[in-house]
Amino acid sequence: MKNTSDSDTASSTSVIDMFTVANEFCIFTEKAEKYNPEEVLQYYAKICPLLYLKGAILPEVEADEDYFGERFVNEDQWESIYNSLLSVFRGKDEFYTLSYENADTNPLKASLSEHLADVYQDLKDFVLLYQKNLAYAKQNAVYECRTLFISHWGPRIAALLPALHVIAFRPEQDDELLY
């Protein structure tokens, strides 16, 4: 296998695929309130596993030596996405998950809207940085996206998947069993 530079790796097929799926996720999330809740749940139940897969196969690249972790989505934008999703999920926003980071195996109450807004923030930052037509920006975007996949948005999606599956694909099930 030939040795490629980080800038070549940042333009690889796996990165372009990640960018494409992340961009679609962000575009949909920004207009989610225009759809009915069932369509939104179906969309997230289908795109979240794809995002997880694309994040898991992102190549390892080094950040530019002057990279300081550029962020674009601010707190107000995050809050707007969160509130929009919260209104879409009316009454189906809460779910239970486990924390694998400590020995406590008690279920934790979580929020679909909060988790999805967190994923949105990380992926929108990736999309905006990657769109800069500079090799070092693309390299830094891939570095940050992979790093945050491992530490932040990947675990959020992993926690969301069981809840999304149950809500989106078994709607006839008694909601009391879910929450």
Predicted pLDDT at 179: 42
Is 83 inside any structural domain?
Answer: yes
Q: Which residues contact 40 (CB under 8 A, 6 or more apart)?
A: 32, 85, 88, 89
**Helix-helix angle 75-89:37-56, to 10 degrees:** 130
Is 158 inside any structural domain?
Answer: yes
Q: What is the DSSP string of 71-111?
A: ----HHHHHHHHHHHHHHHTT--EEEE--SSSS--S-EEEE
Is 130 inside any structural domain?
Answer: yes
Number of domain units in the chain = 1
Is 145 inside any structural domain?
Answer: yes
Predicted pLDDT at 105: 74
Query: The CATH number of the domain where 66 resides is what?
Result: 1.20.120.1550
Q: Is 120 left (phi over 0), alpha (psi -120 to 50) or beta?
A: alpha
Is 1 inside any structural domain?
Answer: no
Q: What is the pLDDT of residues 4-20, one digit of tens each?
A: 577 689 989 999 999 99
Is 75 inside any structural domain?
Answer: yes
**Nearest CA among 108, 116, 106, 93 for reference residue 167:** 93
Predicted pLDDT at 146: 97
Predicted pLDDT at 106: 82
Is 60 inside any structural domain?
Answer: yes
How does pLDDT run along the chain (179 residues), one tens digit per residue? 333 577 689 989 999 999 999 999 999 999 999 999 999 999 999 999 999 999 999 999 998 878 888 899 999 999 999 999 999 999 899 999 987 777 667 889 999 999 999 999 999 999 999 999 898 999 999 999 999 999 999 999 999 999 999 998 875 655 544 44
